[in-house]
Structure 1
Amino acid sequence: MLYNLLYPLSKYFSLFNVFKYITFRTAYAIITALIISLFITPLLIKLLKQLQLSQKTKGYEPERHKEKEGTPTMGGVGILLSALITTLLWADITNSYIWIIIFVMVGTGIIGFLDDYIKTIKKNPEGLHPKAKFYGQLVVGTLAVLLINYVDSSNVSSKLALPFFKNLVVDLGYFYIILGVFIIVGTSNAVNLTDGLDGLAIMPTVIAFGTFIIFAYVSGHAKIANYLQILNVKGAGEISVFCGAMVGAGLGFLWFNAYPASLFMGDVGSLPLGATLGTVAVIVKQEIVLAIVGGVFVLETISVILQVGFFKVTKGKRLFRMAPIHHHFELKGWSEPKIIVRFWIISFILALLALSTLKLR
C-alpha cells in the first residue's frame, strides 16, 4: 500500500524512490511484522486466557506433555494478523500473486480456526474431522493453483525445474495442477505435524521463508534469473515482501513460543504457515528446493507414514517409539530444548544447501 501511495510521488520528491526497491520494502516488512507481533501477542495471550482457550492433550503424547495443558493456544492468529497487516502495508497490492497467497493464508487459517475451536470450546481433543479438514485444504489448494495458472504471464506455471541441473525443465501440462495442490496441502499438513514442541515448527518455518525471500527475488528478476539459469516468473519478486512479513511475524511469535512456551500457535497457525510456504514455492517454481529447505517437515511426515505402514504390515509392531519423530527422541530421553535446537540446526544447514542450488548447476 505504501508502495502504491508513495512511490508515484518520487517524480516530485526523490526520497520516495526507495519504495521502488523490493529489498528495501522486504527489510522493513520484517521489522514491521516483528514489532506488530511483539505488540499484539501479549494482548492475545491475555485474551486467550480469559476465554480459556488452552492446550488440551489427546492422551497419547509423551507423559511430560501433560505439563503443557492450560497453555493458551490459537496464537497463530497473531502471526496471521501481523503478516497480513505488514504485507498490505509494504507490498504492491496490485500484484496478483500477493492476493493469491493472502487467499491461501486466510482460507487455511479459517480451517485451522475451526479445528482449534472444536478442540477448545467444544472440548473435543480430536478437533475438526480429518476428512473435513483435508477437503477444505484441497479446495483452497486447487483454487490457488488454478489462479496461479490464470495470472501467469511468463508461461511457466506448468513447468517443473530440477535443481543441480542446467536447463532441465519438465513441462507437466495439466498434471502440474495435481502436483501443485499436493505441494500446498502436503506442506500445510507437514508443518502441522511438526508443531509438537515449543518453537519446533516456527523456527524452521522462519528459516524457510527467509530462504524464499532470496528465491522469490531472483526468480522475479529477469537478468538475475537468466544468469542463474532458473525460471523467470514475472511479478514473483514481490513475494519477497510477503516472505519478509512471515519472517518478522514468526520471530515475534517465537519470542513467546520459545521453551518453555507461554503460547502455542494451534492449527490456525500451522496450517496456513505450511500452505503459504507451499504456495510460494509453487509460484516461484522452486518446488524441489522446498523439499530441501523444508527437510525437517519432510522428515516428520515420512516418520508418520513409515510408522503407520510398519504398524499395519507387522500387525502391531512399531518402527519408532512414537511418531512424529520428535516424540521418538523425547521417549529416548532427550530433553525438549535439545531436540528443538538440533532440529533448528538441521533446518539452517538445509537452507544453505537449498541456496547452493542457485550456483551448483
Structure 2
Amino acid sequence: MIYYLVQFITKYWDFPGAGLFKYISFRSAAAFIVSLMFALLIGKRIIRFLQRKQIGEEIRNLGLEGQMQKKGTPTMGGIIILASMLLPVLLFADILNIYIIVMLVTTVWLGVVGFADDYIKVFMKNKEGLSGRTKIIGQVSLGLFVGLVMWLSPDIVVKERVVVDKNVTQYETELSAEYRDNQPSTVSKAKKTTQTTIPFVKNNEFDYSVLNPFKGEKYHFVTWIIFILVVILIITAVSNGANLTDGLDGLATGVSAVITTTLGVFAYLSGNVIYAEYLNIMYIPQSGELVVFMSAFIGALVGFLWYNSYPAQVFMGDTGSLTIGGIIAVFAILVRKELLIPVLCGIFLVENLSVMLQVSYFKYTKRKYGEGRRIFLMSPLHHHYQKKGYPEPKIVTRFWIVAVILAVITVVTLKIR
C-alpha cells in the first residue's frame, strides 16, 4: 500500500526519499525490520491472550526428557508469524504482482487449514484435529491452484537469452529501474515453459516435457498436467515435512529461517537480469518482488524464534508449520528451484523419511515375525536423538548447523556444473 501511495504522491510532489521505494533492496529491508519488530511487539501479547484462554498444548507422555514440562505451553503461535509477515507485505510489496498474489493466497490458504486443525485440537478437545484426508485435500487444492496459475497466467514466463551481436548475450526483458538505463533494448517475446533448474549439470535446465510419453495435439496439455501433478506432490511433501519437524523448541523455526533466506537469494538472482546472465540461470521477470515477501517472512520467523527458542514460551502449532512448509514449496516452484528442495530442505526430507521408514518397517516385521520392529528408537528423527539422551538444545543447534551446510551446498550448485 505504501508502495502505491508513494507512486501516487511522486506524480504531483517531489517527495524526498520517495525514489528509494523503486528499489527492491530498500523495500525488502523495510519489510524485514517491520515484520521483526511487529512479531516482537505482538508476540508477548498473543502469548498472554493464549494463556488466559488456556490454549495450551496437550502432551502425551512418550518418555522423553523434559517433555511433560511443556504441558500447557500455549500453542497456535503460528498466528504471530502470519500476522507479522502479512502486514509488511501489504505495506511494501507490489500486491498486484502475480507472484505476490500467489504467495498471499498460499499463506492464507494453508493458514486457514492449520488454524482449523489447531482449533479442533484445542477448543473442541479432539486430539486428532483435522483428518489426514482433509489436510491432504487442502494441500492438493493449493497445488492445483498454483499449477493452474503458472500455466494460464500470461505474467508468469521465463525470458530466453538471445544473441544481440556476436560478442554480447543479453536477456530480452523489461529491466528493473536499477538497470534499465544501462542496457540495450530488445524486442522478442517471453516463453511460457515448464522448465526448471536442475543442479550439477552443465545445461542446468530440466523440462518436464521429457516425462510426457504422448505426442500430437495434446502434447502441450499433457505436459502441463504432469507439471501440475509434480507441483501438488512437492507442496504436500514439504508442508508435511515442516509439520513433522516441528517437535522441538525452535527446531522448525530456525531451520525454516535458513531455508527461506536461501530462497530469497535465489529470487533476487533470478529476478535480476545482470546476475541471471552472469550465473547462467533462468531470468524470471517480476519474480524479484518475491524478495520483499520473503524478507517479511524471515523477519516474522526470527521474531517468533525469540519466543519459541528453548524453553519455548509458545508453539507454532499447525497454523505455523503447515503454512511454513507450503510457503517454502510454492516459493521454490515459482523461482524454478523446486528440484533443489531435496538438498535445501534436507532436514524436512530426513524427518519425513524417518517416519515413513519406521512405519513401513514396523508393519513389515509385524506381518513377517508377528511383532513390529523399529529402525529408530523413535520417529521423527529428532526424537530418536532425544531417546539416545542428547539434550534438546544440542539437537536443535546441530540441526540448524546441518541446515546451514545444506543451504551453502544448494547455493554452490549454481556454479558447479
TM superposition score category, shorter chain reference: over 0.9
| Aligned residue number for residue 2 of structure 2 | 2
Match status 1:29 vs 2:31? yes
Match status 1:82 vs 2:92? no
Letter in 2 for 1:171: D
Q: How far 1:145 sits from its partner (Å)? A: 1.9
Q: How far, CA to CA, are the matches of 2:127 and 2:313 in structure 1? A: 20
Picking from 244, 251, 275, the partner of 1:200 is 251
Q: How far, CA to CA, are the matches of 2:355 and 2:61 in structure 1? A: 17
Match status 1:253 vs 2:304? yes
Q: How far, CA to CA, are the matches of 2:24 and 2:236 in structure 1? A: 28
Q: How far, CA to CA, are the matches of 1:291 and 1:326 in structure 2? A: 18
Q: How far 1:8 sits from its partner (Å)? A: 5.2
For structure 2, list consecutive stretches of 5 or more residues without a partner in the other structure: 159-190, 209-222, 367-371
Q: Aligned-pair RMSD on alpha carbons?
A: 1.5
* Higher helix residue share: 1
Q: How far 1:289 sits from its partner (Å)? A: 2.1
Decide which moves more: 60-69 or 302-311: 60-69
Deviations 1:29-85 (A, max 9, x none): 111100000011111001111111110124547363222110000000010011111
Q: TM-score, normalised by structure 1?
A: 0.96
Contact 1:25–1:91 (8 Å) recurs in 2: yes
Picking from 191, 202, 209, the partner of 1:166 is 202
Q: How far 1:157 sits from its partner (Å)? A: 5.0
Q: How far 1:323 sits from its partner (Å)? A: 0.5
| Aligned residue number for residue 403 of structure 2 | 347
Letter in 1 for 2:361: F
Identity %: 42
| Aligned residue number for residue 315 of structure 2 | 264
For structure 1, list consecutive stretches of 5 or more residues without a partner in the other structure: none
Q: TM-score, normalised by structure 2?
A: 0.84
| Aligned residue number for residue 118 of structure 2 | 116
Decide which moves more: 134-143 or 66-75: 134-143
Q: How far 1:234 sits from its partner (Å)? A: 1.3
Other structure's SS at 1:201 match? helix
Other structure's SS at 2:251 match? coil
Structure number with greater Rg is 2
**For 1:133-152, what aligned pairs fall within 5 Å after superposition?**
133-151=135-153, 152=156
Q: How far 1:148 sits from its partner (Å)? A: 2.5
| Aligned residue number for residue 191 of structure 1 | 242
Picking from 297, 300, 308, the partner of 2:351 is 300
Q: How far 1:4 sits from its partner (Å)? A: 1.9
| Aligned residue number for residue 157 of structure 2 | 153
Letter in 2 for 1:131: R
Q: How far 1:255 sits from its partner (Å)? A: 0.3
Other structure's SS at 2:17 match? helix
Contact 2:61–2:67 (8 Å) recurs in 1: no
Other structure's SS at 2:374 match? coil
**For 1:10-49, what aligned pairs fall within 5 Å after superposition?**
10=10, 12-13=14-15, 15-49=17-51
